[in-house]
Structure formats: C-alpha cells, structure tokens
Amino acid sequence: MTGASTSSSPRVSKELKTKQELEELVESYDNWLFDCDGVIWHDMELIAGVFEVLQYLRKKGKKLIFVTNNATKSREAFKAKFDKLGVEVHVDEIFGSAYASVAYLKYNLHFPSDKKVYVIGEQGMEHELASEGIQYTGGTDPADNQFFEAFDFSHVTPDPSVGAVMCGFDGKINYTKLAKANRYLRENKDCIFMLTNDDRTFPTASGAQHPGSGALSAPLRYCLPHLEPIVVGKPNKPFMDCITKVHQLDKKRTIMIGDRLDTDILFGINGGTASMMVLTGVNKLEDFEAADAPIKPDYYMNSLGDLKAVIE
C-alpha cells in the first residue's frame, strides 16, 4: 500500500503482527522516515527495542531519516541527543522543521541576502538561519524577551530590512514579539509569513499536551486574516519536498513512521509515501480504526521496537 489523498476510496490499516509480515515490510521499503518524540524516544529514554531495530535497518542498507516538527533545536543539537542516547545518527539524516523552513526560504523562495528574518522562536531556528548565512533579529535577543515591564508601543518601529517573519515554538513568547511581527507583516512590502509548523499541541514524557507552535502563532493569524502563512512542517508538502530533494528519494520505496495522525501519518499521505502508525505516542488505535476515520495509516503496530522480531 502507498499513500494517497484522504479524499480517495476508504483506506484500511493493516496491523503487522507476524514475523513474516514484518520481514515483508522491511523488504518493501528502502527509505525509512521516522518521527522522534513518541516513536524513537520519550524525553531522554529510548523506547524499548528501538536501538536494535535502527541498527538492523542500517545493516540492511536502509536509508534512515529522522523528521521532527520540533523547531527549538538545530540538527547539531538533535545529533547531540542521539549521541547521548547511544544511537548512531548523522547530521544530514536529521530534518527538523527549523532547518527545513530555512532551506525552503533560501532555496525555494530565493530569500534576498540583504534581508533579515524576524524570529519568533528559540536557538534552534537562529542556528539554522546562521548556518545558511541568513541574517535574523528577534528570537533570543534580550531586548525582545522582556516580560514584566509595561509595554511601550513607541519601541515597536518596523525595521525595513526585515523581509520575513518566521514563527516556531517559543517558550518566551510575549506581546513585544507579536507586536513587532504584526507590524513587519503589515508594513514591510512583500514580507513573508512562515511557520515552521502549526502543531496545536506537543506531548511531554508524562503524556500531558501543551500548546504547540500553531497555538503560539494563532494571534498573528487572527489579526492578519488576509495573510496566509507558508507552513513548512509536517504534514505539509514543503517539508517532504525538502527531504526528497536533498536525498533523491523514490517515494514508492519510502515509508513514514509516526505516532500522530494529523502530522506524521498525514505527512506520508500528502507526500505520496507509505505510512505506519505506532501506538507509543499521541494517537491510539481507536483514533483511526473506525470506518469513517478521516486519517488512516497503511500499517500499524504497537511499537517500533516490535520490529525486533525480524532479528530474533
């Protein structure tokens, strides 16, 4: 089975249980795209069996790519986490939404070298912008991270060199950042409005859901209803375009593995790849088993670690 539009004939998700079914899965796909949170790890703990599965897939010559909507970390920061967990991963195998957004801005939209990006986000976005030689402002700048002082509108003056506003997750989101971004998007000619992703929530190790990047950018979308942002992260096509362009992937031999229907699985469907759901994260079986469920994976299993059965 391969990915298809959710508007086509009803999809049936196949549960993979036997060793033969798992072996057939491994032989069917050369390129394996993985979400991270809820698939590879929970916080700083690897999900049981994942280490052995990833090693096995590498030995089989599979291409492994790790795809995350988390825009707070750079690729190097994600690699440091993999290193700490003892998992072999190379920087060019990591695609965070921060890097994909920067790459899309530079290579697809041909962002002018004399323009700046106003950042609503954290260091991961700044590092990725710097890695591609793009100037930026805002972000972690202390001047934009004041919380408890009375807001002074006279300090919000549009910098004409800002040609894009890029929004990701920002744990220090405040009125100053929103006010500046609003003025750039309203007053700077052809200013690009870009979201690294529009996730409503993100999960924590305890299972609690907290406001995600999409929720944090909602004030700007509400006060600028005429301006549709470019959303790069999963499940949107720009992210898949970035990955397939860099790695020259054959989509018919590619599978996306995730724990969330509206980002990971829909990403595979929209991108024209196969998709597999694991039940170690956000969504559970009841979320897609109904005949009228709007998003269904091609395959599902309890955990990525269950693929250990093909090794034993």
Q: What is the DSSP letter of 138?
A: E
Q: Where are the beta strands (DSSP E) in the chain?
A: 14-15, 31-34, 41-42, 45-46, 63-68, 94-96, 116-120, 135-138, 162-167, 192-195, 201-203, 209-211, 230-231, 254-258, 274-278, 299-301
pLDDT for position 205: 66
Of 1, 2, 6, 10, nearest in space to 291 by CA: 10
Q: What gap in Å lies between CA 305 and CA 276, rounded to an integer?
A: 13
182 dihedral zone (left: phi>0; alpha: psi -120 to 50; beta): alpha
| Residue 225 token pair | 């209803």
Rounded (10°) CA dihedral 143, 144, 150, 155: 80
pLDDT for position 4: 43
| Residue 103 token pair | 């790459």
- Is residue 30 part of the annotated active site? The answer reads yes
Catalytic residue among 30, 159, 262, 287: 30
Q: Are 212 and 202 in contact (CB under 8 A)?
A: yes
Find all residues with CB under 8 Å of 80, minimum gap 6, and list them: none
Digitized pLDDT (tens) for each residue of the chain, 312 residues in all: 444 444 445 678 999 999 999 999 999 999 999 999 999 999 899 999 999 999 999 999 999 999 999 999 999 999 999 999 999 999 999 999 999 999 999 988 999 999 999 999 999 999 999 999 999 999 999 989 877 667 777 777 789 999 999 999 999 999 999 999 999 999 999 999 999 999 888 877 677 789 999 999 999 999 999 999 999 999 998 899 889 888 999 999 999 999 999 999 999 999 999 999 999 999 999 999 988 999 999 999 999 999 999 997
Amino acid identity of residue 221, one-letter, is R
pLDDT for position 7: 45
Q: What gap in Å lies between CA 89 and CA 86, rounded to an integer?
A: 9
Of 64, 61, 161, nearest in space to 118 by CA: 161
Rounded (to 5) percent helix, strand, coil in the chain: 40, 20, 40
pTM to 2 decimal places: 0.85
Of 165, 77, 72, 175, nearest in space to 126 by CA: 72
